[in-house]
Structure 1
C-alpha cells in the first residue's frame, strides 16, 4: 500500500525511483551474466574481474563462450523488460480498481486531480520505455563490439545475427524503436566478417574450379535449390509454425507479439537456442540415394569426387530427412548387367557440377545473412554477384577464349558479352598475379579485392577428335553456368525485395548485363568444337582439284560433296556417343549443327572463290553440287532453314549478273570478303564483262570499307 500511495501522492518522485530501479537492474544484470562467463572460462575465482568496467569485462569473453553468454544476456534483459511491461499493464488495467480504495469520499484529492496523476503516471511509464530500451541497446552494443567476430564459423555468426534480430524485434514491440544503435554495431561486425568470409570463399572457388573435371553431379530430375539446407530459411519464412522472428509480415488479422506470447511463461531466446541445435543436427545429417538412383549414378560412373571436400559430398536433395544410406551396390555387379536394363531418364535432370552446387550453397548462405541483417543487403548482393562473375569468367577462360573467333566476322560474342567479360576482368581478376608467380604475395596484398585468373585442370583433355574435343566437358561446364543463371533469375524477386532503393539499379544492371549473358557463351564455346569437328581444309583441297570450265552440263556431282557429307555423318555419330555420357540439350545440339553447317557453307563459298576459270556449265555444276549437299544434309538434321543457304546460292547466281547489276550487287552484299568479290569479277572477265568493266568493279570493291560479318 505504501508503494501505491507513493505513486499516487508523490508520482514524480516515485516514477524517477522506478526508472532508476530498472536502470540499475539492467546494469547489474548484464554485469553479473558476463562476469559469470568470464570467471567460469578463466578458471580464476579472484576478484580482479569484478573490479573491471563492463566494457573491459566484455573483452575477456572467450570465443567459445561468446554465444551462450549472448543468449543468457538477452534472456536476462528480456526478464527486465518483461517486468516493466507487466508494470505498465498493471497500471493500465488494475489502477482503476485501486483508486476507490485509496481515495474515499473524505479524501482531500478531487477527481480531476486524481485523473491528472493517473495520466501523468501513464505518460511517464510510456516515456520510460524508450529510456530502458536505449540502456538495453547500449549494453548489448558494448558486448557485441568487445569481440572480433571475424574468426567465427559461419553458422555461429549467423546465430549471433539471429539473436540480435530477435532482440531488435523485442525492441520494436517494446517501444516502437528501429534499434539504430544495435543495427549500426552489428552492421560494422557483419561487414568486417563478411569481407573476410567472402575473400576466403573466392579463393576456395578458384581452387574448386582449378580441380574441377567437369563431370556431371548426379542430382534427381526434380532437384530444386529449395531442397538444399542453405535455402531452408526461404521455406521457413512462409511457414506458420516457425517463430515470429522468422516470419514476414503476417496476412492474418491478428499478430501475437512476443510479450503476449511469453508474458506468463517461457523466453523467446530459449527458442532461439533450441533452434540452433536442431539446425546443427540437420547440417550434419545425410542420407543415401534411393537404390535405383544409386545404381544409375554408379553405372554412369559419376563417382569422380574423391578429391571433393566432405561439405560437397552431402546428399544434394532431401537433406533434412535423415534417412539411413542404402546398401551400396558394387560397380562390378552393375557393369556385368546389360545397359538395356537401365532406363536412364535424364531428359529433365539438371546439368551441374560439384562446383556449381558449391556456388549455389554459398549463395544460400549469403542470403541467410542478408535475410537476417537487411542493412548490409547491398554488400551481400555485391559479393554474390562476384561469385557468379568469377564462375562465368572461368567457363569463358577454360572453354570459350579463342583469338580467332572474332576474326570470323560472325558476331559469335555479342557486344554485351564482351563488355561483361571486360568488366569482370578489370574489376575482379588479378591479371598480374597469374602472369607473374614470383610477385604473388606482394601483388595479392596490394589487390585484396581481386582473384587470380583460374587455370583449367590438366585432367581435362580438349584436343581429342574422338570426344569431339571435350564436348562432354564443354556441355557440362556451359550448361551448368546456364543452370546457375536460372537459379539467380529465380532468386531475383527475393534480392530485389531487400535491396535498398538507391542501389536497385546495380541489381538491375547485374541481371540485364551479366546473368542474362550466360546462355550467350554457348556460341563461342561450341564454335570451337564445330571448327574442328569437320575437316574443312580437306574439303578446300578437294574443291581445288575440280575442273570448273567444263563445256557441257554435268549430271553427276563432285566427290568433295560426298566427302563433306561423310564428315557430317561422322560428326553425327560422335555426337550420339557423347550424348550417352552427358545429356545434350536441344539448344546445344541446334547450335552445334548450325555452327558446322554455317562453317561448311562458308567453306564452299571460299572454295568457289578460289576458282581461276569457270564456265556457265561450271556454275551449273556448282549449283548441282550444293543442291546434292542440301538434300543429303536435311536427312541428318532437323535444323530449318539451313544456315547460310542463301549465302552460297546468292554467290553462285551473282556470276550471271550484268556489269551494272553486279556493281549494285557488290555494294549491297558486304557479307562477302574482298577476295571473294574480286574473284567473282575476275572469273567473269572474258565471259560477259570486259576489261574496262572489270577495272570499274574492282575500284568499287576497293572503295567499300567492308565490316566483316
Structure 2
C-alpha cells in the first residue's frame, strides 16, 4: 500500500470521520443483540472504552450515521440482492432463529475487516504524526486513543454477541433457580438441567463447525460460550431462595458433571472458566462476618448476585434481621 506524501489536518480529520462511520456500521450490524433470536439472553454490557468511542462517533458523525441511506430499510434492500448466510429475510443484524449460522461468516468477515483497518492505521501512525507536524500531534493521538484502540473492545463485543445468539440457553437461569435445592440427603444423581445444558452446548459447537469459519475462530467462540454458561449458572444460583447444606453440595455435584461433560466438546481446559461458579457456591459456607470483605474482593459478581447470596444465607442460617441489613448496607 502506497503512503500519502501530502497529508494536512483537514484531510486527516476526513479519514477519521470515515473510520468512525465504518466503526459505527460494524457495531450496528454485528454487535447489537437481536431481540428475535432464540438464543437471546441478557445483552452483554458495553465496556467504558467502547461506549466512549460510540458516543464520540454519534457526536462527530450524526449527520452521516443517521442519513436515510443508513436506515435499516435501505440496508435490507441492499442485502436482499446479496448472497449471505443464513438464507433468510435480510436483517441488519443477520439474525435468524431458524438458521444455524446467524450470519456467522459475515460477522467474522466484519471482525477481520475492521481488525485489518486498525492494524494498517497503527502502522501508519508514525508517518501521520510526521506529516502533520508536532502542532497537530494531539489530533492524531486523540483519534488513536479514543477510536482505533477501541477496536479490540468492539471485536470482543461482537464475538460475545455472536456466542449469545448461537448458544440457546436463555431459559436456564430460571431452570437453575427453580430446581430443588432444599434437600436433606445428597444422592448420586445430578439435576436434569445439566444434561439439557450439555445438549445445548453440543448444538452450539455443531453450529460453529458448520458455519464456514476458521478453526481458531471456532475455538474463540467456544471459549465465549463457556463464559456465557458460567454467567448463566451464577445468575441462576444467585436467585435460589431456599437451600440446605446438602443442596449446596448438589450444586457442586452438578458443576462437576457439567465440567466433565463440557470437556468433551472443547480442547481447552474447562475448569478455569467455571471456577467463578465454584467460588460462588462455596461462598455459602463463609462466616457471616466475612461477606462484606468477600463481596469487595470479588467484583466479578454483580451486586444483585451478591445480595441474593447474602439473603439466602441469612434465611437458611438464621441470621438476625439486624445483621443481614448491616451486611447488605455495607455491600451496597
Please classify the TM superposition score into its range, dividing by the shorter chain length.
Answer: 0.7 to 0.9
Q: What TM-score comes out, normalization by structure 1 length?
A: 0.40
The residue aligned with 1:391 is 22
Alpha-carbon distance in 1 for matches of 2:57, 2:247: 52
| Other structure's SS at 2:75 match | coil
Task: Give the direction of change, closer, same or farther, for the CA distance of 1:489–1:661 in structure 2 (3 Å limit).
Answer: closer
Count of residues paired in the alignment: 311
Alpha-carbon distance in 1 for matches of 2:315, 2:53: 52
Deviations 1:340-375 (A, max 9, x none): xxxxxxxxxxxxxxxxxxxxxxxxxxx2xxx2xx3x
Alpha-carbon distance in 2 for matches of 1:426, 1:548: 51
Task: Give the direction of change, closer, same or farther, for the CA distance of 1:573–1:381 in structure 2 (3 Å limit).
Answer: same
The residue aligned with 2:185 is 552
1:561 matches 2:189:
no
Task: Give the direction of change, closer, same or farther, for the CA distance of 1:522–1:432 in structure 2 (3 Å limit).
Answer: closer
The residue aligned with 2:96 is 464
2:310–2:328: 8 Å Cα contact kept in structure 1?
Answer: no
User: Which of the residues 132, 144, 147 maps onto 1:511?
Assistant: 144
Q: Which is bigger in relative contact order (C-alpha 8 A, separation at least 6)?
A: 2
| Other structure's SS at 1:469 match | coil
The residue aligned with 1:502 is 135
| Other structure's SS at 1:573 match | helix
The residue aligned with 2:86 is none
Give structure 1 regions of 4+ aligned residues with deviation exceeding 4 angstroms: 407-410, 452-456, 640-644
420-429 or 503-512, which deviates more: 503-512
The residue aligned with 1:167 is none
Alignment of 1:690-701 (within 5 A): 690-692=318-320, 694-701=321-328
Alignment of 1:199-598 (within 5 A): 226=1, 231=2, 367=4, 371=5, 374=6, 377-402=8-33, 413-430=46-63, 434=67, 453=70, 455=72, 457-458=75-76, 459=79, 460-461=90-91, 462-465=94-97, 466-544=99-177, 546-578=179-211, 580=212, 582-583=213-214, 586=216, 588-598=217-227
* Unmatched 5+ stretches in structure 2: 36-40, 80-89
CA displacement at 1:629 relative to structure 2 = 0.9
CA displacement at 1:541 relative to structure 2 = 4.3
Alpha-carbon distance in 2 for matches of 1:567, 1:403: 19
| Other structure's SS at 1:696 match | helix
Alpha-carbon distance in 2 for matches of 1:686, 1:401: 39
The residue aligned with 2:84 is none
Alpha-carbon distance in 2 for matches of 1:660, 1:523: 38
2:100–2:207: 8 Å Cα contact kept in structure 1?
Answer: yes
Deviations 1:443-496 (A, max 9, x none): xxxxxxxxx756472134422243332222111112111111122223334333
Task: Give the direction of change, closer, same or farther, for the CA distance of 1:394–1:665 in structure 2 (3 Å limit).
Answer: same
Deviations 1:264-297 (A, max 9, x none): xxxxxxxxxxxxxxxxxxxxxxxxxxxxxxxxxx
| Other structure's SS at 1:457 match | helix
2:21–2:64: 8 Å Cα contact kept in structure 1?
Answer: no
| Other structure's SS at 2:171 match | helix
1:550–1:615: 8 Å Cα contact kept in structure 2?
Answer: yes
2:17–2:60: 8 Å Cα contact kept in structure 1?
Answer: no
Task: Give the direction of change, closer, same or farther, for the CA distance of 1:642–1:591 in structure 2 (3 Å limit).
Answer: farther
1:534–1:596: 8 Å Cα contact kept in structure 2?
Answer: yes
Task: Give the direction of change, closer, same or farther, for the CA distance of 1:683–1:569 in structure 2 (3 Å limit).
Answer: same
Task: Give the direction of change, closer, same or farther, for the CA distance of 1:604–1:427 in structure 2 (3 Å limit).
Answer: same
1:377–1:500: 8 Å Cα contact kept in structure 2?
Answer: no
Deviations 1:206-257 (A, max 9, x none): xxxxxxxxxxxxxxxxxxxx3xxxx3xx6xxxxxxxxxxxxxxxxxxxxxxx
2:177–2:238: 8 Å Cα contact kept in structure 1?
Answer: no
1:593–1:639: 8 Å Cα contact kept in structure 2?
Answer: no
The residue aligned with 1:702 is 329
| Other structure's SS at 1:638 match | coil
Deviations 1:164-222 (A, max 9, x none): xxxxxxxxxxxxxxxxxxxxxxxxxxxxxxxxxxxxxxxxxxxxxxxxxxxxxxxxxxx
Task: Give the direction of change, closer, same or farther, for the CA distance of 1:627–1:379 in structure 2 (3 Å limit).
Answer: same
Task: Give the direction of change, closer, same or farther, for the CA distance of 1:500–1:667 in structure 2 (3 Å limit).
Answer: closer
Alpha-carbon distance in 2 for matches of 1:675, 1:413: 19
Alpha-carbon distance in 2 for matches of 1:663, 1:640: 31
CA displacement at 1:529 relative to structure 2 = 2.1
Task: Give the direction of change, closer, same or farther, for the CA distance of 1:528–1:389 in structure 2 (3 Å limit).
Answer: same
Alpha-carbon distance in 2 for matches of 1:672, 1:703: 16
Task: Give the direction of change, closer, same or farther, for the CA distance of 1:703–1:379 in structure 2 (3 Å limit).
Answer: same
